[in-house]
Amino acid sequence: MKHLISTLLLLTAAVTAQADTKLYIFDCGYFKFSDISMFSLDNSETDVREMFVPCYLIEHEKGRLLWDGGLPIEMAGKPKHEDQPGVEVEYKRSVVDQLADLELTPEDIDLASYSHFHYDHVGAANAFSSATLLIQQTEYDAAFLHPETNPVFTPSLYSELANSSKVFLNGDHDVFGDGSVTIISAPGHTPGHQTLLLNLKNTGKIMLSGDLYHFEASRALRRTPTFNTDQAETLRSIDKVEAMLKDTGATLWIEHNKALADTLRKSPEFYD
Ligand SMILES: [Zn+2]
């Protein structure tokens, strides 16, 4: 009987933990490209030119995790403008201001992990230096130790993380130990690129893509951007993630898919 009661208590705890996990989506920027050939797509293969740039907060009873940090925070509040020739950007309100709507400050965030260290994913990273950084060893080596050999990185955006507590990952990682939030190693776009698998009580399983794909057409046509650090490795990561999606029944959310993002609830609303 005693055993039964403790088992029931454990089960209740497990259900409660899952019920408590919430996913908040923040609008952390916008891109419009005049030419998408850098994504190895011919401009005639899709008419999508716009991209959403997200940040996410996952609230779990054991802690708060920031996943992806959007465009550089200094861009927030500036009018829409051309950042590079043929690339329009806009970032309306910084993720820090959007967190304040939830009565949170960056210091309230316990853990931070970024799908990869490109400038549209770590734009607010310096503000979250008090959080413990979960990073693939390979991404750390490329972004922090050898950025000069990887021109895709902008070290000034994440230099404050040099002194952050860090957990170095070498593959997949169950963040809270209960299967609700799992970092999936998916290298190739950058040396330590990763995706995030969520298991939410009411919403079900969602895979946040990082930049495994930028467009639905990238997925359908199996195209990898010209600026990826390793094309063959990217294709192996695509195979791994697609097999996982099949096995788990998870829904893939391509993070930059603006048409999808337009249909999703943004913070302060959430998914649980
Ligand atoms: Zn990106």
Q: In angstroms, what is the span from residue 230 Cα to ligand 1's centroid?
A: 16
For residue 236, the CA-to-ligand 1 centroid distance in Å is 19
Model confidence at 134: pLDDT above 50: yes
Spatial contact of 139 and 189, defined as CB atoms under 8 Å apart: no
Average pLDDT over the chain reads: 94
Structure tokens at 76: 């927030």
Compute, in angstroms, the gap from residue 120 CA to the centroid of ligand 1.
Answer: 5
- Given this model, what pLDDT does residue 148 score? 84
- Reference 228, options 190, 256, 265; nearest CA is 190
180 Cα–ligand 1 center, Å: 24
Residue 117 Cα, ligand 1 centroid: separation in angstroms?
Answer: 9
Q: Give residues whose Cβ lies within 5 Å of ion ligand 1.
A: 120, 211
Cα(248) to centroid of ligand 1, in Å?
Answer: 25
Distance (Å) from CA 95 to ligand 1 centroid: 16
Q: What would the pLDDT profile of 170-187 be if each residue is shown by its tens digit?
A: 999 999 999 999 999 999
Q: How far is the CA of 256 from the centre of ligand 1 (A)?
A: 7
CA distance linking residue 202 with residue 194, whole number of Å: 24
Q: Amino acid identity, residue 49?
A: R
Residue 123: pLDDT above 50? Answer: yes
Strands 194-200 and 181-185: antiparallel
pLDDT in tens, 221-232: 999 999 999 999
Which pair of structure tokens corresponds to residue 154?
């902008």
User: What pLDDT is attached to residue 152?
Assistant: 80
pTM to 2 decimals?
0.92
CA 5 to ligand 1 center in whole angstroms = 48
Tell the burial category of 171 from Cβ atoms under 10 Å away from its Cβ (0-12, 13-18, 19+): exposed
Give the single-character DSSP code of 264: S
Span from the CA of 189 to the centroid of ligand 1 (angstroms):
10
Is residue 151 very low, low, confident or very high in pLDDT (cuts 50, 70, 90)? confident
The rounded Å distance from CA 261 to ligand 1 centre is 14
CA of 122 to the centre of ligand 1 (A): 10
% pLDDT > 90, the chain: 89
Question: Element (H or E) spanning 232, and its range?
Answer: helix 231-248
Ligand 1 centroid to Cα of residue 260, in Å, is 15
Confidence class for position 3, pLDDT limits 50, 70, 90: low
Residue 236 clears pLDDT 80, i.e. is over it: yes
Question: Band of the pLDDT at 150, cuts 50, 70, 90?
Answer: confident
First to last CA, the chain: 33
Residue 168 Cα to ligand 1 midpoint, Å, equals 22
CA distance 48 to 258: 9
**Positive or negative CA dihedral for 66, 69, 70, 72?**
positive
Cβ contacts of 50 within 8 Å, gap of 6 or more? 30, 31, 32, 33, 258
Q: What pLDDT digit, counting tens, does each position of 17-47 carry?
A: 445 899 999 999 999 999 999 999 999 999 9
Q: Domains, the chain, ranges and CATH?
A: 20-261 (3.60.15.10)
103 CA distance to ligand 1 centroid (A)? 27
What's the burial of 149, exposed, middle or buried (CB within 10 Å: 0-12/13-18/19+)?
Answer: exposed
